[in-house]
Amino acid sequence: ITFDAKTFASLASTVQQVPIGWSFDITLDGNPGGYQVLYMSLRTGPTSVHPGVDGSGMLDTSSLFKLMSEVLPASGTFTRTVHVPGTPALIGSTLFFQNVERFPSIALRQLTPANRFAIGNPVLVTITP
């Protein structure tokens, strides 16, 4: 048995609040070559646990949408700029983000069950005037 060290997927934002019409950066961290998907929702939902997945989903699936997907470069880090529309109706809203990574080097023919995915920490950004 060999130990396959993995970095747990994580997410960070450059801001906790952003005015309408402005932009901010979201940074995805994980394993080099890992395939990460970034999701956004306008609210959290019930915590969900999935077989073969480390972590818990915190976003409401009815308002969930995929913001981007990316294979992480050799640094294991990718930054995405998020643009907030200049719509006044968004003032006071909170944007919830969460990422999911498929580990790059899990053997698909393993005899024992292995977790092949990890859900990162949630990040929230509030929209201000």
- Please state, as a whole number, how many other Cβ atoms lie within 10 Å of the Cβ of residue 76: 17
Residues of the chain with pLDDT under 70: 1-5, 47-48, 105-115
Query: What is the residue-wise DSSP string for 50-93?
Result: -TTEES-EEE-GGG-EEEEEEE--TTSEEEEEEEPP--GGGTT-
Distance of CA 88 to the CA centre of its chain: 26
Q: What is the pLDDT of residues 22-49, one digit of tens each?
A: 999 999 999 999 999 999 999 888 766 7
pLDDT of residue 93: 94
- Give pLDDT, residue 108: 53
pLDDT of residue 82: 96
